[in-house]
């Protein structure tokens, strides 16, 4: 992805999802789906972490002028993620694993280091 593409909101989001997938793989998770869609919406990343299927919401920001990436995951968004996870599990009944919802919050300023926060087991 070019630097210009990464500067657009959609480009930044795609960059963040790719960065998050790489981050999760480095943590030992296995990515099994990216951008899984159904009529309810989209799951950014579905991964396996030992005995869990993990549904990962990725939020990427340049700065915190509109709040932190984690602040974008509201109770309404979390409720939707639970419904999406349930739908995915219903379509993949053979998974046979426990599940959880994680978040990856990325801040990628125009200058300075990229900051990644991984929150496991959103409630």
Count Cβ atoms within 10 A of the Cβ of residue 55 and give its class: 0-12 exposed, 13-18 middle, 19 or more buried.
buried
Token digits of residue 46:
């579905």
Mean pLDDT of the chain: 91
Average pLDDT over residues 96-107: 93
pLDDT cut 90: percent of the chain above it: 76
Global pTM reads: 0.89
Residue 86 scores a pLDDT above 50: yes
E strands, 3-40, where?
30-38
**Alpha carbon separation from 122 to 22, 46, 53, 99 (Å, rounded):** 21, 15, 14, 11
Q: How confident is the model at residue 6 (pLDDT cuts 50, 70, 90)?
A: very low
Domains of the chain: 3-119 (3.40.1350.10)
Q: How confident is the model at residue 44 (pLDDT cuts 50, 70, 90)?
A: very high
Indicate whether 115 pLDDT > 80: yes
């Amino acid at each position: 992805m070019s630097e210009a593409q990464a500067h657009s909101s959609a480009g930044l989001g795609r960059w963040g999802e790719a960065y998050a997938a790489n981050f999760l793989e480095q943590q030992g998770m296995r990515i099994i789906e990216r951008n899984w869609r159904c009529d309810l919406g989209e799951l950014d990343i579905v991964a396996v972490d030992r005995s869990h299927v993990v549904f990962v919401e990725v939020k990427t920001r340049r700065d915190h002028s509109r709040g932190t990436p984690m602040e974008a995951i509201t109770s309404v968004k979390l409720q939707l993620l639970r419904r999406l996870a349930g739908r995915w599990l219903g379509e993949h009944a053979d998974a046979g694993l426990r599940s959880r919802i994680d978040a990856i919050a990325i801040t990628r300023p125009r200058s300075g280091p990229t900051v990644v926060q991984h929150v496991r087991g959103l409630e």
